[in-house]
């Protein structure tokens, strides 16, 4: 039942790896699907002497959201683009309304800003908890002898019975905690995933005291789980797997658009905008014009364009391509995005860049956001408006920059004759799981996989841990 | 791997919760889930967003028949299963070869360009498309359930025509049970699976949606805002949203009664639009109308 094969493995050597001196002893390892992540990710590895020497990542699905929106009412984008991803839809709503409001010259009220942050924060808490316990943790613990935990790789499982049991118990508790995060978000958002509350001009919701009380009660339970269970569990795992502080580093280039505006202009954010090169602590600014989305190895015909002038022209049979993900590069360089990038750039976490550092940064970020949400809840001014009437832009352009749990997210909108004339979306996993760029340089996760040990090529558990540390969201990446 | 009964009880609890089967008697669940004869569930994801799987995780206290619980064993689910790569694929293909399973589909099925717009996995090193996988997995299934609007009717992937995405029924050319919604409500998913596995007769409407959830009358017909003042712009609490584009008048779902996320809200409840996400026409553009149109 195999489809026609129309993809070829790239040459073994990459831009920075061992120079190809592996003399025909390399083993090709294909992990397709890479499970416990969102969407369709094909991982192809070449290993030699028990280490990955080259990695190739394919995003294996394309729907066409950007082109679907052409000619549509720009306000519809907040609802449509959420359907890019059911794990992190709310950031797309946020980016869409920010882009539309920028085009219309509109600024929302402080109350609207806070409600948006609370619904978005709920999405982060659900997502980070889901990621650690239900997506990543099964890489490290003994699962139960029943589906969906069997079959499983049986490689390098170190936790003693007591600790393993603790993690299994917490896997179950985490199901409740992440559900409660969604329930809190639904109080203001109506439902999750896919809230209808984000509209140009603010939010539809008018919060009242009862909603605030319900939200606070749920948030307090989620917060207690994060601080008392999630954060210590990451420490426990890190203690058992210390070498994962050195595995999966990648380029060390980190980028964040920043998120959770703390004022109506967005000049102050809970997590700041910026980028660093090669693990530096010197945070540099971001020039959006430096971003190009390249497609030499992607199933698109577009040249490498900036999103402000970008197009998306699918070509499902393009020779030499191996992914539906484009290759965004900043100044020609690949960057990693996500919780570690945000926490590093914001100065909250700078222990290192690795598999375990990503888990640590994510758990600490969850705590930081949950505590901030409690503060924001107290800043709501009940009775003050959450919506501002406005005149839709008949023409113009706007950019919405925010962060999904998985990293920097941008929507580039252009309006002509009151309809969408261009819509370009740059998602976190585009950065992280991009294929090689026009110069043949590996994407962030492709690079991070190089050097990863593989004890048993039939059970590539170690590379899968590296993959999961990035929390890939493939539906976002391909959109 | 051998585990103690105590461990197994915990695992059974995890499985029950994962499947939205919380609130069951775990002792019986353990025996059920351990049963080698449990009919299997294969959950395949195509051109979708995983939102229906996430929604399923939001399930709370479904009314679960103990006998039904005994029949569920989640053999393949790309987001939840421990195994990866060939190990995961073999779990699906061996189950499908044996037959007698329930096949759940999330996401649409692209058919253009030989299905290249969605690959689900590789077999013997070669990529397999969603279209191929659905056909193969459905051959010996005892039932096929389309979860979400993409799987039911094509949804957003179909709306952008290049990939020629289809719903499951269209692709297979035979009737399936459709549980649309963007996402589907967890009760709709769990309740329908439970009824199906119990052998209970499920009344379906002309779009093959269970009428227990997808009500013959519309959300608008039950809406207390219907007779009142119209909202002229968002942010006006409690008013009718029809002039702003609300699709409650053409939407057949019980959101207003069942509510979402453990009864914490629904779209119109936060003075937002019903965008008609359970309907075959979704997404019916434009979603918005100007209040003074």
What is the CATH classification number for the domain harbouring B219?
4.10.480.10
Judged by DSSP in three states, B265 sits in strand
Q: How far does the CA of residue A161 sit from the closest CA of chain B (Å)?
A: 10
Q: Are residues B194 and B230 in the same domain?
A: no
Q: Which domain holds residue B252?
A: 215-293
Total domains in the fold of chain B: 2
pLDDT score at A291: 98
Within a domain: residue A11?
no
Q: Are B49 and A91 in contact (CB under 8 A)?
A: no
A75·B122 Cβ contact <8 A: no
Picking from A407, A447, A452, A413, the residue whose alpha carbon sits closest to that of residue A431 is A407
Q: How far does the CA of residue B9 sit from the closest CA of chain A (Å)?
A: 10
Give yes or no for A166 touching B (CB within 8 A). no
Cα angle: A474, vertex B157, A334; to 5 degrees: 30
List CB contacts (< 8 A) between A206 and chain B: 235, 237, 271
What is the CATH classification number for the domain harbouring A162?
1.10.645.10
pLDDT score at B195: 85
pLDDT score at B66: 32
Nearest by CB to B267, which of A40, A184, A190?
A190
Picking from B259, B260, B250, the residue whose alpha carbon sits closest to that of residue B280 is B250
pLDDT score at A26: 87
CA distances from A446 to A41, A318, A466, B62 (A): 12, 21, 10, 42
Nearest by CB to B128, which of A3, A35, A460?
A3
Of all residues in chain A, the percent with pLDDT exceeding 70 is 95
pLDDT score at B74: 86
**Helix or strand run (H / E) with residue B123:** strand B119-123
Within a domain: residue B116?
yes
Name the residue in chain B with its Cα closest to that of A32. B85
Q: Is A292 exposed, middle or buried (0-12, 13-18, 19+ CB in 10 A)?
A: buried
Within a domain: residue B204?
no
Name the residue in chain B with its Cα closest to that of A140. B82
For residue A322, which phi and psi values (nearest 5 degrees)?
-140, 15
Q: Are residues B263 and B152 in the same domain?
A: no
pLDDT score at A145: 77
Specify the length of chain A in residues: 479
Which of B101, B118, B246, B252 is an active site residue? B246
List, for residues A401-427, the tens digit of each pLDDT value.
999 999 999 999 999 999 999 999 999
Is B277 considered catalytic here?
A: yes
pTM given for the model: 0.93
CA distances from A149 to A152, A293, A366, A457, B193 (A): 6, 38, 26, 20, 21
Beta partners for residue A420, in sequence order: A415
pLDDT score at B86: 97
Total domains in the fold of chain A: 1
What is the CATH classification number for the domain harbouring B162?
3.40.50.700
Q: Are residues B189 and B253 in the same domain?
A: no
Within a domain: residue A32?
no
At B49, list the tokens: 């967003």
Give yes or no for A51 touching B (CB within 8 A). no
CA distances from A461 to A48, A186, A439, A467 (A): 16, 36, 30, 10
Q: Are A34 and B85 in contact (CB under 8 A)?
A: yes
Whether ipTM > 0.90 holds is yes
Cα separation, B270 vs B250, whole angstroms: 19
Residue corresponding to tokens 């992540």: A37
pLDDT score at A9: 54
Give yes or no for A7 touching B (CB within 8 A). yes
- Decide which of B135, B165, B198 is a domain's last residue: B198
For residue B88, what are the contacts with CB-CB under 8 A and spacing of at least 6?
A33, A35, A151, B76, B78, B81, B121
List CB contacts (< 8 A) between B136 and chain A: 1
Within a domain: residue A240?
yes
Within a domain: residue B182?
yes
**Helix or strand run (H / E) with residue A179:** helix A161-189
Give yes or no for A155 touching B (CB within 8 A). no
Helix axis angle, A110-129 relative to A355-379, nearest 10°?
Answer: 150
- Decide which of B170, B198, B226 is a domain's last residue: B198
Q: Are residues B60 and B158 in the same domain?
A: yes
Q: Are B127 and A42 in contact (CB under 8 A)?
A: yes
At B257, list the tokens: 């009664």
Which residues in chain B come in under a pLDDT of 70? Answer: 1-38, 61-72, 292-293
A·B CB contacts under 8 A: 338
CB atoms within 10 A of CB A103: 22
Q: Are strands B109-110 and B165-166 parallel, antiparallel or unpaired?
A: antiparallel
Helix axis angle, A110-129 relative to A89-104, nearest 10°?
Answer: 150
Nearest by CB to A172, which of B14, B126, B273?
B14
- Output b/e per residue, A39-66; b: 16+ Cβ within 10 A: bbbbbbbbbbeeebbbbbbbbbbbbbbb
A83·B51 Cβ contact <8 A: yes
Average pLDDT by stretches of 10, chain A with 479 residues:
47 41 73 97 97 98 98 98 97 98 96 98 98 97 85 96 95 91 98 98 98 98 98 98 98 98 97 98 98 98 96 97 98 98 98 98 98 98 95 94 98 98 98 97 98 96 98 97
Peptide bond into A193 cis (omega under 30): yes
Within a domain: residue A224?
yes
At B259, list the tokens: 């509510």
pLDDT score at B38: 61
Is B118 considered catalytic here?
A: no
Peptide bond into A148 cis (omega under 30): yes
Within a domain: residue B29?
yes
Within a domain: residue A6?
no
For residue A126, what are the contacts with CB-CB under 8 A and spacing of at least 6?
A178, A179, A181, A182, A185, A192
**Helix or strand run (H / E) with residue A401:** strand A396-404
Within a domain: residue A261?
yes
Q: Which domain holds residue A371?
A: 62-448+463-478
Cα separation, A199 vs A94, whole angstroms: 9
């Amino acid at each position: 039942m195999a489809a026609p094969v129309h993809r070829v493995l790239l040459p073994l050597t990459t831009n920075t790896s061992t120079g190809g001196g592996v003399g025909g002893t390399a083993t090709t390892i294909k992990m397709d699907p890479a499970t416990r992540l969102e969407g369709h990710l094909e991982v192809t590895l070449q290993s030699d002497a028990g280490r990955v020497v080259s990695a190739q990542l394919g995003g294996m699905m394309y729907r066409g959201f950007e082109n679907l929106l052409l000619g549509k009412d720009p306000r519809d984008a907040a609802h449509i683009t959420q359907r890019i991803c059911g794990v992190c839809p709310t950031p797309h709503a946020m980016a869409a309304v920010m882009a539309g409001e920028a085009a219309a010259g509109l600024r929302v009220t402080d109350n609207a800003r806070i409600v948006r942050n609370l619904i978005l924060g709920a999405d982060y808490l659900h997502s980070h908890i889901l990621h650690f316990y239900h997506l990543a943790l099964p890489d490290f613990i003994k699962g139960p002898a029943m589906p969906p935990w069997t079959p499983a790789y049986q490689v390098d499982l170190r936790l003693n019975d007591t600790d393993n049991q603790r993690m299994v118990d917490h896997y179950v508790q985490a199901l409740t905690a992440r559900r409660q995060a969604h329930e809190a978000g639904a109080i203001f958002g109506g439902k999750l995933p896919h809230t209808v509350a984000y509209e140009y001009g603010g939010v539809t919701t008018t919060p009242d005291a009862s909603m605030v009380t319900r939200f606070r009660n749920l948030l307090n339970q989620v917060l207690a789980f994060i601080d008392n269970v999630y954060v210590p569990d990451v420490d426990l795992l890190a203690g058992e797997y210390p070498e994962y502080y050195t595995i999966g580093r990648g380029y060390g280039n980190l980028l964040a658009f920043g998120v959770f505006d703390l004022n109506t202009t967005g000049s102050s954010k809970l997590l700041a905008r910026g980028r660093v090169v090669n693990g530096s602590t010197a945070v540099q600014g971001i020039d959006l014009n430096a971003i190009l989305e390249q497609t030499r190895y992607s199933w698109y015909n577009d040249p490498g364009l900036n999103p402000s002038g970008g197009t998306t022209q699918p070509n499902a049979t393009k020779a030499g391509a191996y992914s539906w993900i484009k290759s965004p590069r900043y100044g020609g360089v690949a960057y990693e995005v996500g919780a570690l990038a945000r926490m590093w750039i914001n100065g909250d976490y700078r222990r290192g860049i690795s598999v375990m550092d990503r888990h640590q940064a994510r758990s600490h970020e969850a705590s930081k956001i949950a505590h901030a949400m409690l503060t924001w809840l107290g800043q709501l001014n009940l009775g003050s408006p959450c919506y501002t009437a406005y005149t839709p832009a008949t023409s113009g352009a706007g950019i919405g920059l925010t962060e999904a749990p998985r990293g920097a997210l941008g929507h580039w909108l252009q309006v002509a004759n009151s309809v969408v004339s261009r819509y370009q979306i740059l998602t976190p996993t585009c950065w992280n799981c991009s294929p090689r760029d026009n110069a043949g340089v590996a994407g962030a996760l492709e690079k991070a996989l190089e050097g990863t040990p593989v004890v048993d090529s039939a059970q590539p558990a170690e590379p899968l841990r590296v993959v999961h540390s990035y929390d890939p969201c493939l539906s976002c990446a391909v959109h | 791997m051998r585990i103690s009964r105590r461990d197994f009880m915990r695992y059974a609890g995890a499985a029950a919760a994962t499947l939205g089967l919380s609130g069951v008697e775990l002792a019986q669940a353990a025996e059920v889930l351990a049963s080698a004869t449990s009919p299997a569930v294969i959950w395949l994801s195509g051109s979708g967003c995983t939102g229906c799987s996430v929604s399923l995780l939001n399930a709370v206290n479904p009314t679960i028949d103990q006998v039904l619980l005994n029949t569920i064993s989640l053999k393949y689910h790309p987001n939840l299963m421990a195994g990866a790569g060939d190990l995961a694929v073999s779990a699906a293909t061996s189950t499908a070869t044996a037959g007698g399973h329930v096949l759940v589909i999330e996401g649409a099925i692209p058919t253009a360009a030989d299905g290249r717009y969605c690959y689900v996995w590789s077999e013997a090193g070669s990529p397999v498309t969603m279209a191929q996988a659905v056909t193969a997995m459905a051959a010996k299934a005892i039932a096929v359930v389309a979860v979400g609007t993409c799987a039911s009717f094509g949804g957003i992937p179909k709306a952008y025509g290049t990939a020629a995405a289809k719903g499951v029924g269209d692709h297979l050319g035979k009737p399936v049970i459709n549980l649309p919604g963007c996402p589907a409500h967890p009760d709709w998913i769990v309740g329908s699976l439970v009824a199906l596995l119990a052998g209970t007769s499920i009344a379906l409407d002309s779009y093959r949606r269970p009428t227990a959830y997808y009500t013959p009358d519309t959300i608008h017909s039950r809406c207390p805002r219907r007779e009142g003042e119209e909202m002229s712009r968002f942010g006006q609490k409690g008013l009718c949203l029809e002039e702003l584009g609300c699709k409650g008048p053409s939407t057949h779902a019980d959101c207003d009664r069942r509510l979402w996320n453990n009864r914490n809200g629904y779209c119109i409840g936060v003075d937002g639009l019903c965008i008609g996400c359970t309907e075959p026409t979704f997404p019916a553009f434009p979603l918005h109308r100007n209040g003074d149109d």
